[in-house]
Structure 1
Amino acid sequence: ARLPASLQAKERVRWLEGGKQREKRSRGCSLYTARHALFPRRWLNLQEYQSKKLMQESGVAVQRFYVADTASEALEAAKRLNAKEIVLKAQILAGGRGKGVFDSGLKGGVHLTKDPAVVGELANKMLGFNLTTKQTPKDGVKVKTVMVAEALDISRETYFAILMDRSCNGPVMVGSPQGGMDIEEVAASSPELIFKEVIDIFQGVRDDQALGMAANLGFKGPLQRQAADQIKRLYDLFLKVDATQVEVNPLGETPEGQVVCFDAKINFDDNAEFRQKAVFAMDDMTESDPTEMEAAKWDLKYIGLDGNIACFVNGAGLAMATCDIIDLHGGKPANFLDLGGGVKERQVYEAFKLLTADPKVEAILVNIFGGIVNCAIIANGITKACRELELKVPLVVRLEGTNVHEAKRILTESGLPITAAENLDDAAKKAVAAIKK
């Protein structure tokens, strides 16, 4: 029940503005964007309990909870909660946990019980076992931690988020009285139930704005003030951790008259890592793809795909275009690898190491547009990699931009079996043709 994490902030807001615009945008969606609309990922991934801890520290109302690494710890935590009902949640970085299945035979990564003893029994079937959901690899993900929390009844569910919007040059509040479900469906079927409010970056969330949004979410009487207070605290958290999005679904109302954030997703600005060291230190890398982790060491952005033509580019937009045109010519991209701007020869070499280590790769397509990037640096990195790694698969190279003539000379005089291409279309055709030989 969340917006696709791959969409940029401006696109997220537009996503809520109606089904026709969303359908139009989806038709032009690239392979990369389409894949990530189905498989959201962030560079910084926090477990649910970690996000709730950050919220708790900012005074946001969440359920009481403990974290356990063993069944005995889970049992002890359940007793300490002294709650009428307890919810036990497996902690993995994937959605659909409630409908997941463990290789221990246990069904469901989320369980409710009133008996603390049952928590220990369930945790024993969760911890150390793989949980498979619609968002995990087919073999699932090993559960190493569980969250033991107080279960609260929800009498009403709402949706609330704060996110960065480029068109407004700052943060925007988005809310709906229809929470606990796919917000996209609400936007498509009842756009009048989506409320947006621009936040002035100098003033922050004003009292009247917070109260107005609380009213739009359907909170009444004392609950309206309570919800407004939670909204302001969520904005404080948004600023405090350098977030690009704080999304709460549901922001719920309990029969006892409490406003509680029952679930939350926080996206962070990776450029703020230098001043958010405590937050980024919580990053759970155990579930990350090893190739992506290795790429990140060299400031490379790598996403594995299912095809056999490796894409080696500079810039995310160029990467998406390259993936799409390969597909257009009947090929399948094996990855999305973005070198970025300030490229050095060593990065090119390390990128080739990553690509050639993938047994699925049967050809490599290098597509570089040298604006900030010096094409000669790319050419030197390519020739070094080809020689030292003894490249065995066909290599197609398209270079354009800064120092391109020097780059082409380097490649030509190298004597290596490199196929030159004049443009992106030509490069894609030659890469696909190389696979079919």
Structure 2
Amino acid sequence: LVASRALSPSKYLCTTLAVSPRSELILPPSCPSFQCSWLTPRRWLNLQEYQSKKLMQDSGVAVQRFYVADTASEAQEAAKRLNAKEIVLKAQILAGGRGKGVFDSGLKGGVHLTKDPAVVGELAKKMLGFNLITKQTPKDGVKVKTVMVAEALDISRETYFAILMDRACNGPVMVGSPQGGMDIEEVAATTPELIFKEVIDIYKGMQDDQALRMAANLGFKGPLQRQAADQIKRLYDLFLKVDATQVEVNPLGETPEGQVVCFDAKINFDDNAEFRQKDVFAMDDMTESDAMEMEAAKWDLKYIGMDGNIACFAVNGAGLAMATCDIIDLHGGKPANFLDLGGGVKERQVYEAFKLLTADPKVEAILVNIFGGIVNCAIIANGITKACRELELKVPLVVRLEGTNVHEAKRILTESGLPITAADNLDDAAKKAVAAIRKK
């Protein structure tokens, strides 16, 4: 959805929208759902800014000269090696709003400009090892372990450019605007005539006349138009090379010296292409990832933590997991997580899922919602009983079963002798889960 609309993800996960938790979700704060839960949006593959710029640089895309440092002395030395008129120092974390962020060291701003290499070292001392707090980080911020030291270039004009996959066009589309350096949503809302699109034929590839037309629409003139078109074509080559679903450059800028430079970029990748993009996926920065999400991924479980106290555990698709979250909210409860085991679940995955859920101190009850279409309900039932015994489950457990081999599954649960509350349907299960907490 993000890619098809060329928009940046919001921080709202609407519990009525049936999508994979790996997806980026975009919904307005006024979303007419029962409840919208505040979450930090996550991508399956997260790259730091300098990593994206390195990919661009390797594909011949014009970016600022830069170095990466993880100590203050390295940062200062990098600033000297750049030998630039002005230097920009940028904290590297996987969150936006760095420029307006605050460090717990007292330093304000995760992005600083200076002409003195010595100042770079002093600033880096107040960044590295300290937490940077922005509007997109957790309350305590994110620890900065790396900084990027780059040449600061003047920008005489900013434009917006992106290449993304669009379902409506069955392939990649270029989206551009001469109004760069600001949210493209705002441009689309206030001046839609300044949004330009070019559909790229997946067989023919990007044509010269398309690139030149987009460059002209972005406002590049004279020799700069040809230069911008060349950068656009190189960005498309990168898009294909790394199996991207979106390459967004904001701004694609023009300097007073007559250069077209990609000053900032966001790249989204197709996680289904990991098998042929091993070098790219090996760069994944997991240091800021949620520990429980990382553990879930080991067992091919789709997990997102939330702020409630009823654990939601669904089998047979993300839509069912979302519906489970919704109906808990409808009956006055609060989901503690989103957990989907998909359709190819094995007994061991059920056990590992319970380990994850019971490790969360906020969880006061667990609702298991099984619709056995592809999966055999008996497999789930065996996994549940094994987990309950071995983990010595201490919180109420409500189970709703429906689908393939459901009678055998119910027999397994009933004869287990475990304190498992059976539910007739999803509505009944949600009511019982909420009631179990209220009795405590």
Compute the TM-score of the two structures, normalised by the length of structure 1: 0.90
Q: 1 CA distance for matches of 2:160 and 2:34?
A: 27
TM-aligned CA deviation for residue 82 of structure 1: 0.9
Counterpart contact for 1:96–1:134, Cα < 8 Å: yes
TM-aligned CA deviation for residue 32 of structure 1: 7.5
Q: Which residue of 2 aligns with 1:425?
A: 427
Q: 2 CA distance for matches of 1:424 and 1:134?
A: 36
Q: Secondary structure at the match of 1:184?
A: helix
Q: 2 CA distance for matches of 1:133 and 1:402?
A: 48
**Cα distance change on mapping 1:432 and 1:5 into 2, 3 Å:** closer
Q: 2 CA distance for matches of 1:176 and 1:151?
A: 23
Counterpart contact for 1:32–1:336, Cα < 8 Å: no
Compare 135-144 and 64-73 and name the one that shifted more.
135-144
Deviations 1:112-139 (A, max 9, x none): 0011111111111111111111111222
**Cα distance change on mapping 1:271 and 1:314 into 2, 3 Å:** same
TM-aligned CA deviation for residue 43 of structure 1: 1.4
TM-aligned CA deviation for residue 92 of structure 1: 0.8
Q: 1 CA distance for matches of 2:350 and 2:341?
A: 8
Q: Provide the aligned length of Structure 1 versus Structure 2.
A: 410
Q: Secondary structure at the match of 1:287?
A: coil
TM-aligned CA deviation for residue 422 of structure 1: 2.3
What is the CA RMSD across the aligned residues, in angstroms? 2.1
Counterpart contact for 1:159–1:248, Cα < 8 Å: yes
Q: Secondary structure at the match of 1:30?
A: strand
**Cα distance change on mapping 1:327 and 1:271 into 2, 3 Å:** same
**Cα distance change on mapping 1:44 and 1:394 into 2, 3 Å:** same
TM-aligned CA deviation for residue 414 of structure 1: 1.5
Compute the TM-score of the two structures, normalised by the length of structure 2: 0.89
Q: Secondary structure at the match of 1:208?
A: helix
**Cα distance change on mapping 1:225 and 1:201 into 2, 3 Å:** same
TM-aligned CA deviation for residue 173 of structure 1: 1.4
TM-aligned CA deviation for residue 216 of structure 1: 1.6
Counterpart contact for 1:31–1:324, Cα < 8 Å: no
Compare 347-356 and 426-435 and name the one that shifted more.
426-435
Q: 2 CA distance for matches of 1:132 and 1:113?
A: 22
Q: 2 CA distance for matches of 1:61 and 1:234?
A: 10
Q: Which residue of 1 aligns with 2:372?
A: 370
Q: 2 CA distance for matches of 1:126 and 1:119?
A: 10
Task: Report matched runs for 1:89-168 at 5 Å.
Answer: 89-168=90-169
**Cα distance change on mapping 1:410 and 1:387 into 2, 3 Å:** same
Counterpart contact for 2:34–2:326, Cα < 8 Å: no
TM-aligned CA deviation for residue 341 of structure 1: 2.1
Q: 2 CA distance for matches of 1:183 and 1:5?
A: 17
**Cα distance change on mapping 1:5 and 1:254 into 2, 3 Å:** farther
Runs of 4 or more consecutive aligned structure 1 residues displaced over 6 Å after TM superposition? 3-6, 26-33
TM-aligned CA deviation for residue 314 of structure 1: 3.4
Q: 2 CA distance for matches of 1:232 and 1:399?
A: 53
Q: 1 CA distance for matches of 2:225 and 2:149?
A: 29
Q: 2 CA distance for matches of 1:267 and 1:41?
A: 11
Compare 207-216 and 89-98 and name the one that shifted more.
207-216
Q: Which residue of 2 aligns with 1:43?
A: 44
TM-aligned CA deviation for residue 357 of structure 1: 0.6
Q: Secondary structure at the match of 2:287?
A: helix
Compare 167-176 and 120-129 and name the one that shifted more.
167-176
Q: 1 CA distance for matches of 2:42 and 2:431?
A: 31
Q: Secondary structure at the match of 2:36?
A: coil
TM-aligned CA deviation for residue 110 of structure 1: 0.3
Q: 2 CA distance for matches of 1:126 and 1:169?
A: 44
Compare 353-362 and 212-221 and name the one that shifted more.
212-221
Q: 2 CA distance for matches of 1:4 and 1:88?
A: 33
TM-aligned CA deviation for residue 405 of structure 1: 2.0
Counterpart contact for 2:376–2:404, Cα < 8 Å: yes
**Cα distance change on mapping 1:31 and 1:107 into 2, 3 Å:** closer
Deviations 1:278-335 (A, max 9, x none): 1111111111111111111101111110000001043222222211221111111000
TM-aligned CA deviation for residue 5 of structure 1: 15
Counterpart contact for 2:34–2:330, Cα < 8 Å: no
Counterpart contact for 1:326–1:333, Cα < 8 Å: yes
Q: 2 CA distance for matches of 1:56 and 1:281?
A: 18
Compare 359-368 and 191-200 and name the one that shifted more.
191-200
TM-aligned CA deviation for residue 4 of structure 1: 9.9
TM-aligned CA deviation for residue 423 of structure 1: 2.2
Counterpart contact for 1:300–1:338, Cα < 8 Å: yes
Counterpart contact for 2:385–2:413, Cα < 8 Å: yes
| Structure 1 spans left out of the alignment, 5+ residues | 7-25, 34-39
Compare 121-130 and 55-64 and name the one that shifted more.
121-130
Deviations 1:88-117 (A, max 9, x none): 001111111111111111111100001111
Larger relative helix fraction: 1
**Cα distance change on mapping 1:187 and 1:135 into 2, 3 Å:** same
Percent of residue pairs bearing the same amino acid type: 95
TM-aligned CA deviation for residue 31 of structure 1: 7.7
| Structure 2 spans left out of the alignment, 5+ residues | 1-26
Deviations 1:247-282 (A, max 9, x none): 111111111111111111111111111111111111
